[in-house]
Structure 1
Amino acid sequence: MKFKKEDVIAKMRKDCLIAVIRAKDAAQGEKIVDAITAGGIKFIEITMTMDHGSPVEFIKFLSEKYADSPDIVIGAGTVLDPETARLVILAGANYVVSPGFNADTVRLCNRYRIPMLPGVMTPTEAIHALEAGCDVIKLFPGNILGPSSISTFKGPLPQGEFMPSGGVDVDNVDKWLKAGAFAVGTGSSLTKGAKTGDYDAVRKKAEEFVEAVKKAKG
């Protein structure tokens, strides 16, 4: 389903949880997505780092598969340039995420009213992202910055909304959310069961994440 920008942001604020999927191919990716959505996670971020096949085509496939779903929100991750952003938007991505800040990519996403979450590590980068019109900024790598970085960024930039990604797991997701994170992105700790073909473990881990987020939000 295609969502309006403001609806994506509102849903992201409500759910607070984005599943980052780095699949080796579309077949594995679909099994991971099926397990994650069965576990209750609704935001799916497909990265541009698929080993085999086209992640853009996979996003298109998922967009069509969930075309009638009012809950599942498909996005694209590891988007490094405006050319890739344009492709994933045409394929049906409802939001775009990057490990870094690229002004041209943000500008293109703004043109089509698609939320763009650029990765930052410094206040200077965060200021550039705010000036470019980004509604939510990705703190990356989260495992280096740590939960306390939220208050550090929000000290001089209280108007900023921040989403950590990298190093977020069931045991620390509450720390991130209680520190003021707008949402969190989680990947390897969520999907590690897929490496051995244990997709039920992926589903169970998704359920654990959803429950942890509910407890953290009170």
Structure 2
Amino acid sequence: MLKITILQRILSGGMVAIVRADSAEAALALAEACISGGITALEVAFTTPDTLDVLKTLRQRHGADVLLGAGTVLDPETARMAILAGAQFIISPSVNVETIRMCNRYQVPAMPGAMTPTEIVTALEAGADIVKIFPGDSFSPSYIKALRAPLPHAPLMPTGGVTLENMEEWFRYGSVAVGIGSSLTGPAQTGDYAAVTVKARAFVHRMKEIKADIKDSA
């Protein structure tokens, strides 16, 4: 799949679900719960045991229907392994220039984590496609507005602290997408994957409303 196609699908869907679990089996169950709820872009965090196997299994099960990314990628070696296992985008908690270069070598979107204007500019200069603003729960959606004043061209994706209740604010202040973690996947901690699916459906429905509202007000 072409890099531009992957980016367009992420921007169109508007959200990436973060799959993080204590075992590969739990990660697969969590991923399937999100997919059943209609979320089609997933980040499988490398803090999950056997992450590569999880990526391979999900790719075999869902093919091109689901966008699979690898998260918590700290170095280019891990990025390459993830890409060869089927990851279609790479997300990091920080800016690692060599990781971004590795992604560009394979024409896979690089989404490094940053928090300050300096980090954001460094990521963009290195070739990042979307900058993950992290940790999002350390500030309010208005921080995106503040960042976009000097950096209106920066494609920003806050991750952490995004909820059904505040998701519209993140977009109205200029986010191009959001990364969604515990507010979506929290019930999985007690094995309630059905509740995750219900939450996923709610996020998808809310996203459609937000996109429509923003389009109408443009």
| 1:24 partner amino acid | D
Q: Is the counterpart of residue 190 in structure 1 residue 184 in structure 2? A: yes
Match of 1:16 in 2: 14
Alignment of 1:53-132 (within 5 A): 53-67=49-63, 69=64, 71-132=65-126
The alignment partner of 1:46 has SS state of strand
Match of 2:201 in 1: 207
The one-letter amino acid paired with 1:66 is H
- Measured in 1, the distance between the counterparts of 2:145 and 2:125 equals 20
* CA deviation vs aligned residue, 1:132-154 (integer Å, no higher than 9, x gap): 11121000001113211212111
Distance in structure 2 (CA, Å) of the matches to 1:103 and 1:132: 6
Q: How many residues in Structure 1 have an aligned counterpart in Structure 2?
A: 212
**Structure (1 or 2) with the greater helix fraction:** 2
CA-based RMSD of the aligned residues comes to 1.0
In 1, Cα distance between the equivalents of 2:84 and 2:186? 30
How far apart in 1 are the matches of 2:86 and 2:33? 21
Measure the CA separation in 2 of the matches of 1:141 and 1:57.
27
Alignment partner for residue 128 of structure 2, among 124, 129, 134?
A: 134
**With structure 2 as the length reference, what TM-score do the two structures score?**
0.94
Partner of residue 46, structure 1: 44
Q: Which amino acid aligns with 1:78?
A: T
For 1:22, give the aligned amino acid: R
4+ aligned runs moved over 6 Å, structure 1: none
Unmatched segments (≥5 aa) in structure 1: none
Q: Which amino acid aligns with 1:168?
A: V
> Does the CA contact (< 8 Å) of 1:121 and 1:145 recur in 2?
no
Q: Could you say what secondary structure the match of 1:180 adopts? A: coil
- Give the equivalent residue in structure 2 for 1:158: 152
Percentage identity across paired residues of the two chains: 44
List per-residue Cα deviations over 1:16-35 (Å, max 9, x = no partner): 01000101112111111111
- Give the drift of 1:61: 1.4
Task: Output the amino acid matched with 1:162.
Answer: L
Quick one: distance in 2 between partners of 1:9 and 1:118?
Answer: 14
Alpha-carbon distance in 1 for matches of 2:172, 2:205: 15
Structure 2 CA distance, aligned partners of 1:41 and 1:178?
21
